[in-house]
Amino acid sequence: MIAIIKYNAGNISSVQNALNRLGYNSIITDNPNEILTADKVIFPGVGEASSAMKYLTDRGLDQVILSIEKPMLGICLGLQLMCASSEEGNTKCLGIFKEKIKLFPPEEKVPHMGWNNFSAIKGSLFDGIEKDNDVYYVHSYYAEVGEDTIAECNYIKNFSSAMQKNNFYATQFHPEKSADIGAQILKNFCTL
């Protein structure tokens, strides 16, 4: 069973629908036991960093996430909350990845929205995927390229399109909205 973490951030149903299309069962939950006993965990999100982190910490879900030992995939805001901190609301985040989340400069160029590619891909999340494929992005904040970066994208500057550290994976793009390429990435995650 795949647990999709419910934490007052949008886009959860579209992730579940994408998993259904691939033939995977999932539950949307904020129950710590269901999250910790799931075979895989997805941490999606569209929203604002400080309010999302407050929701997580108020319910103890921040500590639950840090305790996950099975493969976990953060998506968009999920990736950002897995980093050390965010300029959005001057927010202390989970610290799984040491990168800091920053606002794209200049502000009139945000959000980065629509189809863009990724490059420098590596790791099992991208099995069967060629670099320079287009995936779907919607974000105003980004993680810099660092030691946990497994894919890069360029919008104004290079940023982490995907990251991995141990059992924790994350994509800045939305695989559930990225057609066949996104479906393959989700399938790769589900078969880790």
E strand residue ranges, 35-165: 40-43, 72-75, 85-86, 91-92, 100-103, 112-117, 134-139, 141-143, 149-155, 157-165
Would you give the end-to-end CA distance of the chain in angstroms?
A: 13
- What is the DSSP-derived secondary structure letter of residue 68? -
From the list 93, 112, 174, 190, the catalytic residue is 174
Task: Indicate if the pLDDT at residue 130 is higher than 90.
Answer: no
Among 126, 144, 143, which residue's Cα sits nearest to residue 135? 126
Domains and CATH numbers, the chain: 2-190 (3.40.50.880)
Residue 176 appears among annotated catalytic residues: yes
Q: pLDDT, tens digit, for every residue of 25-43?
A: 999 999 999 999 999 999 9
pLDDT above 80 for 1: yes
Q: Quick one: what percent of the chain has pLDDT higher than 90? A: 88
According to DSSP, the residues that pair with 42 across neighbouring strands are 4, 73
Per-residue confidence (pLDDT) for residue 126, from 0 to 100: 96
Catalytic residue (choose from 99, 112, 176, 190)? 176
**Are the C-beta atoms of residues 163 and 79 closer than 8 Å to each other?**
yes
Cα–Cα nearest to 158, from 119, 115, 125, 108: 119
CA angle centred on 49, ends 89 and 63, rounded to 5°: 115
| Paired tokens of 44 | 């999606």
174 is catalytic: yes
Residue 120 has pLDDT above 90, yes or no: no
Percentage of residues in the chain having pLDDT higher than 70: 100
In sequence order, what are the beta bridge partners of 171? Answer: 75, 162
Residue 45 pLDDT grade (very low, low, confident, very high; cuts 50, 70, 90): confident
- Establish whether 144 is a catalytic residue: no
Residue range 142-163, pLDDT digits in tens = 999 999 999 999 999 999 999 9
| Span 63-74, average pLDDT | 98
Average pLDDT across the chain, whole number: 94
Mean pLDDT of 162-189: 97
Residue 46 is predicted with a pLDDT of: 86
Structure tokens at 157: 């500057």
Q: What gap in Å lies between CA 181 and CA 176, rounded to an integer? A: 9
* pLDDT reported for residue 140: 94
**In this predicted structure, what is the pLDDT of residue 119?**
86
- Is 177 a residue whose pLDDT tops 90? yes
Catalytic residue among 76, 93, 153, 190: 76
Give the Cα-Cα-Cα angle 18, 189, 28 (nearest 5 degrees): 50
